[in-house]
Amino acid sequence: MGDDIETPLLKNELTETGHHTQTYRPRVGIIGTGNYALALMKRLTAVAGCDVIIGSRMPELRRGTFSGIGDCFCGVELASIRECIRGSDIVIIAIHREYFSVTLQDVAELLAGKLVVDVSNRETRKVGQSNAEYLASILPEASVVKAFNSVSAFAMEDISESGSSSAVYVAGNDPAARQKVIHLAHAMGFRTVNLGLLHSARWMEDDLLSVFSLWQIPVALATGIFLLSCLFVAYIYFIDRPKPAYSWEQIFMKVSNKPVCMTAIAMMALTYLPGQLASILQIYYGTKHRRFPKFMDTWLKIRKQMGLVSFFFVTLHAVMSVLMISSTYYGGWFYKRTVTIPANETFNTEVVLKLSKEWMNWRGESVCLLGILGFALMAVVALTSIRSVGDSLNWSEWRSVQSNLGFVVLALSTAHVTVMGAQGWERRGFPKVFRSVTFLSVLLPYLVLVLKIVFSLPPLSGYLWKIRHGWEREGARYGPVDKIDKGKNGTKKATGSSSSDNLELEKSRASQGSTKGNQSGQATVVQVEADSQDYAGTGQGSAQKQCSSL
């Protein structure tokens, strides 16, 4: 957390045991009397033990809102904005951005030299200036620090452990001011992440506007694959035949289970494919110090979500299949019992009826076993993607589960589909085999598995190991050096997947995180390829490496 600066407002206190402790108890002014101001006030008084002055444009009118609060929360005062600023060491601006200028311009001179905390969020993403930078432009003489914006009013008020679990990100140009806010946040019961300069406020504000950002591509991809599979299944079973293969009544389960299965296994293969593509690129580049193309960076980063989307489809497929297991739905899995009815007066020939028995044959049993094993192990992989579960494993244990066990799951699932469909593939022959659901489903998984085997065996395994430990081939392909463009507004914009500012941010986030997750708890890659810590490139690659492999 960097800056080790003495904080003048640390107060020496004598504990019951006679020891001196240092507590940070500044007098905090809060401008605004809304939900967030109220929540901040409660935590500041109840947890941090600070004296609080609430500053309102209309203190008299707001007295009703705060009536009784003074009794429950000692040390709370309601005053005018001017009195609030004069009487406090730190001023928190708990008003909306639109009112910064109108409300604060008259008191700008009073705020000169003060530590001002901006907690505001924005409604929509904007390029350029953050709210905090805007506030700093209105109050050029104040030390503006951005903090607390990621904590909701609800969590701020909730002084239990769960309310205090959010991280408070802190950014500000003045290290001493930043450090004071960090102390204050600690005193309020939060853990903090020091994001450095005020410029980071752009990310702090933007990040909260992203809704399921890492899930968008996996969900869209799975939906696309599912729809295409539906079209394919509809074509081969209903359109391209003189008579449909199934009645319309089987559309709900028997038929729709096929695209579900295709989507599940395709997503599983796509989760592990980028790891193999990364190996190909590293061999081609002959160095690990080259940034991957942007799409690869993104793909590597969303593997956890891809894996979990696949798990959703696998679960769906498992439940649907189990409900349908019967000799009627899966005829090929069960023994055929032949019953011979002897000739009689009505029929003068023997009639042979083929009836299904309840016992499964080896195909049925092995398909089920492979499916059950794959599903159960995939559940283990998915479980360890939950941060609290993953945190109970050390790095190598976690990596083994996510990578090695993940590949075992892919192999079991591929075997499950292969055993299920192989007989049919033989019967159809080339090129009709391409009309088989099972055959098409296993093409991509086989490619991924073959690549995995090839890269795990000598000589390529050794070659990759060397590259990932820093060795570089003579004449390695470093690629174009990242250009730094001057954006229209004069800000620097890197042409690669991130700017250096983001890099600083990512690094900071990663370094503040647990061993396997970053602070936002999002970018942790679950289905991590064994070698993901080596997916380094320069720039964002390194940050990506940290985020995805930590």
State the residues that interact with ligand NDP by CB under 6 A: 32-37, 56-58, 62, 94-96, 99, 102-103, 119-121, 149, 152-153
| Of residues 73 and 99, the one with the C-beta less far from ligand NDP | 99
Query: In the bound complex, what is the minimum distance in angstroms from residue 135's beta carbon to ligand NDP?
Result: 10
The Cα-based distances of 398 to 104, 306, 468 in angstroms read 51, 18, 20
Nearer to ligand NDP, 35 or 173 (CB): 35
H-only helix segments in 291-332: 294-301, 303-324
Backbone angles phi, psi at 18, to 5 degrees: 90, 5
Alpha carbon distance 181, 373 (integer Å) = 51
- Region of 4 (left: φ > 0; alpha: ψ -120 to 50; beta: rest) is beta
- What's the min distance (Å) between Cβ of 487 and ligand NDP? 27
Q: Report the residue number, 149 or 257, with the smaller CB distance to ligand NDP.
A: 149
Note whether 397 and 371 are within 8 A (CB): no
Q: How far is the CB of 31 from ligand NDP (least distance, A)?
A: 7
**57 vs 428 by CB, closer to ligand NDP:** 57
- Return the number of the residue (121 or 512) whose C-beta is nearest ligand NDP: 121
In this complex, which beta carbon is closest to ligand NDP, that of residue 152 or of residue 500? 152
Q: How far is the CB of 511 from ligand NDP (least distance, A)?
A: 25
Please give the helix or strand (H or E) that residue 79 lies within, else none. Answer: strand 76-80
58 vs 454 by CB, closer to ligand NDP = 58
**Element holding 485 (H helix, E strand):** strand 484-486
Smallest gap from residue 187 Cβ to ligand NDP (A): 19
- DSSP class per residue in 148-183: STTS-HHHHH--STTGGGSEEEEEES-HHHHHHHHH
- How far, in Å, CA of 354 to CA of 340, rounded? 9
- Residues 27, 50 contacting (CB under 8 angstroms): yes
Q: How far apart are CA 242 and CA 550, in angstroms?
A: 56
Determine the straight-line distance between the first and last CA of the chain, rounded to whole angstroms. 18
Task: Please say which residue, 103 or 540, places its beta carbon nearer to ligand NDP.
Answer: 103
* Minimum CB distance to ligand NDP, residue 102 (Å): 5
Instruction: Please tell me the distance from the alpha carbon of residue 205 to that of residue 202, in angstroms, as a whole number.
Output: 5
Residue closer to ligand NDP by CB (options 37, 273) is 37
Least CB distance from residue 299 to ligand NDP, whole Å? 33
Contact 514, 387 (CB under 8 A): yes
Least separation in angstroms between CB 122 and ligand NDP: 8
How many residues can be counted in the chain? Answer: 550
Per the structure block, which two tokens stand in for 346?
């009505």
- AA letter at 474: E
Minimal distance, residue 96 CB to ligand NDP, in Å: 4
Q: How many CB atoms lie within 10 A of CB 321?
A: 20
Q: Are 267 and 223 in contact (CB under 8 A)?
A: no
To ligand NDP, the closest distance from the beta carbon of 35 in angstroms equals 4
Taking CB positions, which residue lies at the least distance from ligand NDP?
Answer: 34
Q: Which is nearer to ligand NDP, 126 or 507 (CB)?
A: 126
